[in-house]
Amino acid sequence: MNTFNVDVLKSFSVQVLTTLGVRQKDANTVADALLKANLEGVDSHGISRLGVYSNRLKDKRINPAPHVQFEKKGTSVLTVDGDNGLGHVVSSKAIERGIEMVKESGMVGIGIKNSNHFGTASYYCQKACENNLAIIAFTNSPPGIAPWGGREAFFGTNPIAFGFPNGNNPPVIIDLSTSKVARGKIILADKQGESIPDGWALDENGQQTNNPAEALKGSVMPLGGAKGYALALAVEILSGILSGGAFSPNVNSIYQETSKEPANVGHFFILMDIEKFMPYETFQFSMDQLINQMKETPKAPGYEEIRYPGERREKEFQLRSKEGILLSKNVQDELINLGNIVNVPFPQAMSSHNA
Amino acid sequence: MNTFNVDVLKSFSVQVLTTLGVRQKDANTVADALLKANLEGVDSHGISRLGVYSNRLKDKRINPAPHVQFEKKGTSVLTVDGDNGLGHVVSSKAIERGIEMVKESGMVGIGIKNSNHFGTASYYCQKACENNLAIIAFTNSPPGIAPWGGREAFFGTNPIAFGFPNGNNPPVIIDLSTSKVARGKIILADKQGESIPDGWALDENGQQTNNPAEALKGSVMPLGGAKGYALALAVEILSGILSGGAFSPNVNSIYQETSKEPANVGHFFILMDIEKFMPYETFQFSMDQLINQMKETPKAPGYEEIRYPGERREKEFQLRSKEGILLSKNVQDELINLGNIVNVPFPQAMSSHNA
């Protein structure tokens, strides 16, 4: 394990992406989203993904310089065709447009088709919160979860995310896959040569497995049984059908080497202008009251504090912003290799650790 | 157990409610919602609730004839003050207004405060689907779930519901509590003198219990651990804060005999006009394709078919519409007693069973 300076990793990412034809502004967006994930402790969605995005840009399965098309319908619907651009680029542009619209209308629904993996949903939730908005975000993804009663991966692990600004506290950021665990964690375990716990996944024959490579060929268990299946279906309909995109068995994995087809991932965002519901200060006051009141309730055995979603993420962000980002040897080797291919030297570590 | 004709039970419910000062149209709405739940097999939210609603109307904790106030903000926000009316009445009026607005704007957010228990969220989802709309519905409820790391019931069991029209199939209706099980199931078990399975709930000392009465004093486990807690929090913020209402520890239970305070339940609805996203026929076509494709995937051991959420509900509805509604002796005795109090005779059963 080596520790790296975040700005140096960001700069490396931008150089790699621009070398592959991504516009400077768009490369900055992607690098910002990736490194934000690392800073927040969500390494599964961080710079470890740069390699696969780069491969897909190289073999033209992702369009480095998309012409994203927007169409406004009614006062509060925005439909977006991502032109097969990087998901972070397409989604960030869509959120920017949505923010302009929602200040007028109060609510905006954004359906996005022809996109790609957009990283963490929380990244877009934070953007909304910075603009005093509440948000619900959904995305589909390649097949991961079997329908209830089935044994073939059909739905993506389809996250649902929420963002709510707070008063004196960092925002409430909820970002959860509708699978028992995010597929990204299984991908990372595979990359780091680790096994996965019981109950996370089934192999392609429907048998429980601890081998992440076998799990990636099989299916991930839904969150809380049949309810998780129902939530995955809802996310699929919003992101894959109402967006005008593809639904999950037709969403291609960026990890699939054999296919040359675009991934055609769909996203769905709902933006809410809090000011249209009440004075913003009233909302902030109530949010602080809720969080503080909750934190003061009696603790369960073994717990010293009650944390709200987004709190640990923010603490980790503060810590890693100071101390740097730890990369495993596997991830580092992959990035060095990537740097060699595109002729961008991978930076020196700040320090090394045995881990 | 006795079987009753649905129209006869509906008529009884309407008479009880109007006797207690509820307007005829509003009584019809409540009776329709209650009996729809029974017909769909969701007995926990059916006519078994009539007694407690009636008690609260009698002791003036629920306003029988509310003046529901609406305010439109921007083009797509509707804020609603329910004037402490029955939740079914307030929510149905709000949905009607929202449907008018959404045909213009494409998206509508409805925040409702000063309401009461609204029955099943699926009832409002069905109304939206009948109007070719997609919907997401949320409501808070009296404390049921402890925050993750805590041991005191703080959040309601806070359901999340989705409704999506289909093409040739009945709509997809997803309606799930963010607790492991709906509190209504524990209330019904208590009423029917049944025990509850392991893992459903904790008693007030934080110990696992199979006694529904002890569970109702304690807390219900969240869906899938910490993720269920996060979802319950999101529902609380939308229904209890963004609505301008009360958040959960301040939401009063209609089952609490000692309090004279209004429940102050909050709801939140998001309506989406599918036509603004794409031609309605295209949506229907894709929905049928999704459902059919899913149903054709290989089955898991022990399953003969894959069902989508809303499918069993619809089958049960067809069956019970023909065969009538089965009421347990406890529920029946309670309704006979209620009839005696308000001087409305409880109807005769169609047939009786030993169960």
Provide the token pair at B193.
């003198």
Taking an 8 Å cut-off on Cβ atoms, the answer to whether B242 and A272 are in contact is yes
**Best mutation site among B70, B77, B176, B305 for testing chain A: the one with the most A CBs within 10 Å?**
B77
**Residue B70 shares a structural domain with residue B115:** yes
- The proportion of chain B whose per-residue pLDDT surpasses 90, expressed as a percent, equals 80
**Residue B85 shares a structural domain with residue B194:** no
Give the closest-approach CA distance of B72 to chain A in angstroms. 9
Give the closest-approach CA distance of A216 to chain B in angstroms. 18
**Residue B244 shares a structural domain with residue B118:** yes
Cβ contacts of B246 on chain A, cutoff 8 Å: none
What is the count of structural domains for chain B? 2
Domain termination site, one of B233, B248, B277: B277
Provide the token pair at A289.
């009251």
**CB contacts < 8 A (A, B):** 235
* The predicted structure's pLDDT at residue A151: 86
Give the closest-approach CA distance of A264 to chain B in angstroms. 15
The string of pLDDT tens digits covering residues A279-296 is 999 999 999 999 999 999
Element (H, E) at A313: helix A311-323
**Residue B74 shares a structural domain with residue B214:** no
Q: Which of B163, B161, B132, B110 is nearest to B276 (CA)?
A: B132
Nearest to A227 among B106, B176, B244 (CB): B176
| Residues 137 through 156 of chain B touching chain A, CB cutoff 8 Å | 146-152, 154
Nearest-by-CA chain A residue for B163: A234
**Best mutation site among A227, A243, A299, A311 for testing chain B: the one with the most B CBs within 10 Å?**
A227
* Residue B300 reports pLDDT greater than 90: no
Whether the CB-CB separation of B248 and B269 falls below 8 Å is answered with no
Q: Mean pLDDT of all residues in chain A?
A: 93
Cβ contacts of A234 on chain B, cutoff 8 Å: 162, 164, 172, 174
Between residues A151 and A49, the one the model is more confident about: A49
| Residues 202 through 241 of chain A touching chain B, CB cutoff 8 Å | 206, 223-224, 227-228, 230-231, 233-234, 236-238, 240-241
**Residue B132 shares a structural domain with residue B212:** no
Looking at the complex, does the CB of residue B96 fall below 8 Å from at least one CB of chain A? no
Place of tokens 């599918």: B274
Nearest to A106 among B109, B274, B293 (CB): B109
* Residue B36 reports pLDDT greater than 50: yes
Residue A89 lies in a domain: yes
Residue A322 lies in a domain: no
Q: Mean pLDDT of all residues in chain B?
A: 93
The string of pLDDT tens digits covering residues A249-274 is 888 877 777 777 888 999 999 999 99
* The predicted structure's pLDDT at residue B18: 98
**Residue A122 shares a structural domain with residue A175:** yes
The string of pLDDT tens digits covering residues B259-277 is 778 889 999 999 999 999 9
* Residue A206 reports pLDDT greater than 80: no
* Residue B123 reports pLDDT greater than 70: yes
**Cα–Cα distance measured from residue B331 to residue B254, given in angstroms and rounded to the nearest whole number:** 17
Residue A81 lies in a domain: yes
What is the number of other CB atoms lying within 10 angstroms of the CB of residue A347?
16
* Residue B354 reports pLDDT greater than 70: no
Between residues A127 and A258, the one the model is more confident about: A127
Q: Residues, chain A, total?
A: 355
Residue B231 lies in a domain: yes
- The proportion of chain A whose per-residue pLDDT surpasses 70, expressed as a percent, equals 99
Cβ contacts of A301 on chain B, cutoff 8 Å: 151, 206
* Residues facing residue B269 across a β-bridge: B110, B137
Nearest to A307 among B149, B289, B301 (CB): B149
The CATH number linked to A265 is: 3.30.1370.60
| Residues 9 through 68 of chain A touching chain B, CB cutoff 8 Å | none
Domain termination site, one of A258, A277, A296: A277
**Residue A117 shares a structural domain with residue A161:** yes
**Enclosing domain of residue A216:** 190-221
Provide the token pair at A244.
């005008």
Cβ contacts of B224 on chain A, cutoff 8 Å: 180, 223-224, 227-228
Cα B175–chain centre separation: 8
* The predicted structure's pLDDT at residue A246: 86
* Residue A355 reports pLDDT greater than 70: no
**Residue B114 shares a structural domain with residue B252:** yes
Give the closest-approach CA distance of A252 to chain B in angstroms. 16
**Residue B161 shares a structural domain with residue B103:** yes
Whether the CB-CB separation of B209 and B218 falls below 8 Å is answered with yes
Between residues A199 and A335, the one the model is more confident about: A335
Which letter does DSSP use for residue A208 in this model? B
**Residue B111 shares a structural domain with residue B121:** yes
Residue type, A198: D
Residue B116 lies in a domain: yes
Residue B71 lies in a domain: yes
| Continuous H helices in B106-142 | 122-130
Nearest to A77 among B106, B241, B308 (CB): B106
The string of pLDDT tens digits covering residues B191-242 is 889 999 998 988 887 788 999 999 988 899 999 989 999 999 999 999 999 9
Between residues A218 and B7, the one the model is more confident about: B7
pLDDT band at A354 (very low <50, low <70, confident <90, very high): low
Residue B48 lies in a domain: no
Cβ contacts of A230 on chain B, cutoff 8 Å: 174, 176, 309
The dihedral of CA A335, A340, A346, A351: what is its sign? positive
Taking an 8 Å cut-off on Cβ atoms, the answer to whether B107 and A104 are in contact is no
Flag the least confident range among A81-85, A191-195, B307-311: A191-195
Looking at the complex, does the CB of residue A293 fall below 8 Å from at least one CB of chain B? yes
- The proportion of chain A whose per-residue pLDDT surpasses 90, expressed as a percent, equals 80
What is the number of other CB atoms lying within 10 angstroms of the CB of residue A348?
9
* The predicted structure's pLDDT at residue B98: 98
pLDDT band at B182 (very low <50, low <70, confident <90, very high): confident
Taking an 8 Å cut-off on Cβ atoms, the answer to whether B73 and A106 are in contact is yes
The dihedral of CA B291, B296, B300, B305: what is its sign? positive
DSSP for B58-99, please give it.
HTTSS-SS---EEEEETTTEEEEE-TT--HHHHHHHHHHHHH
The average pLDDT across B330-351 equals: 94
The average pLDDT across A130-142 equals: 96
Residue type, B227: K
**Residue A135 shares a structural domain with residue A207:** no
Taking an 8 Å cut-off on Cβ atoms, the answer to whether B307 and A176 are in contact is no
* The predicted structure's pLDDT at residue B251: 83
Taking an 8 Å cut-off on Cβ atoms, the answer to whether B174 and A234 are in contact is yes
Give the closest-approach CA distance of B112 to chain A in angstroms. 10
**Best mutation site among B108, B276, B303 for testing chain A: the one with the most A CBs within 10 Å?**
B276
Residue A256 lies in a domain: yes
Helices (H) then strands (E): counts for chain B: 12, 12
- In degrees and rounded to multiples of 5, residue A279 shows phi and psi of -60, 140
Cβ contacts of B223 on chain A, cutoff 8 Å: 223-224, 227
E strands along chain A, which residues? 2-4, 69-73, 77-81, 107-115, 133-139, 160-164, 172-176, 201-202, 219-220, 265-273, 325-327, 351-352
* Residue A48 reports pLDDT greater than 70: yes
Nearest to A150 among B76, B109, B298 (CB): B298
* The predicted structure's pLDDT at residue B355: 46
Nearest to A298 among B150, B236, B283 (CB): B150
**Residue B231 shares a structural domain with residue B88:** yes
* The predicted structure's pLDDT at residue A291: 96
pLDDT band at A310 (very low <50, low <70, confident <90, very high): very high
